[in-house]
Amino acid sequence: MTLSAVPREVLAVAFALALLAFLAEVVSTKLGAFARSRRARVRAARAGDGEREAAVWLEDAGFAIDAAQATGTYEVALDGDVVEIPLRADYLVSKGERRWVAEVKTGAVAPKIATAATRRQLLEYLVAFDVDGVLLVDAERGVVHDVSFPSRDATPAPRAPARALVLVLAGLAGGVALAALVQAAAAGASSAGAGSFTAIPSSTHLRATSSATGLTSATSP
């Protein structure tokens, strides 16, 4: 069947449906982009509010604000070629002679040190900036955390012996001590018995035997 054989009414309905589907797709795309943009603006505004409040929390914790939105760079060697990495930190703060990079995080996940992205960002800041440490500011709870990473130059502490090995050694030492005590006790009892033994005369022995059987003996020694 050719297109000319299709009634005009059917063609008009099909065209109208196609046009409606196209318009619905356009509207859906525009609405999705608007919603994403709005969420991004809300997040940005919330992060900005959190950063402004973080400055107060840092000062309340005894830190002096040295710089906000501080920029810096550090170099990474890639196959021998040097690549310069730019960075921007929320705050550079100090207390006495020590300096920190302070990173402000909002939301339910980002402020947690267990979040990999947050942890790696703090570690990168510690490497890139000439500071003594890094601070994680939880903007949701108003808490300033001092984060320390293990040093590669630190000598690892010796490991304690395994519990099983300790128990075995303790058992061996106890067994040796007990065997020594038993041996010493046996030697003491043997020497004491040998020193107190007295020989009984044969006549006394005979008299005692006769008395036991109800007979008396006049035999004298």
- Domain annotation covers residue 154: no
Domain that holds residue 58: 45-147
- Domain annotation covers residue 211: no
Mean pLDDT value across residues 74-82: 94
Say yes or no to pLDDT of 217 above 60.
Answer: no
74 bridge partner residues: 85
Predicted local confidence at residue 1, as pLDDT: 58
For the beta sheet containing 64-78, the strands, ordered from the edge strand earlier in sequence to the opposite edge, are 64-78, 81-95, 98-105, 133-138, 143-147
Query: Distance between CA 32 and CA 193 in Å, rounded?
Result: 105
Predicted local confidence at residue 218, as pLDDT: 41
Range in 53-57, 107-111, 202-206 the model is least confident about: 202-206
Domain total of the chain = 1
- Domain annotation covers residue 126: yes
Mean pLDDT value across residues 127-147: 93
């840092």: which residue's tokens? 58
Mean pLDDT value across residues 57-74: 93
Distances in whole angstroms, Cα of residue 36 to Cα of each of 27, 46, 69, 136, 210: 14, 15, 25, 27, 123
**pLDDT band at 208; cut points 50, 70, 90:** very low
- Domain annotation covers residue 160: no
Mean pLDDT value across residues 157-173: 59
Say yes or no to pLDDT of 106 above 60.
Answer: yes
Query: Distance between CA 215 and CA 8 in Å, rounded?
Result: 153
Range in 12-21, 78-87, 157-166, 173-182 the model is least confident about: 157-166
Predicted local confidence at residue 103, as pLDDT: 95
- Domain annotation covers residue 99: yes
Contacts of 12 (CB under 8 A, 6+ apart): none
Predicted local confidence at residue 38, as pLDDT: 56
CATH of the domain at 95: 3.90.320.10
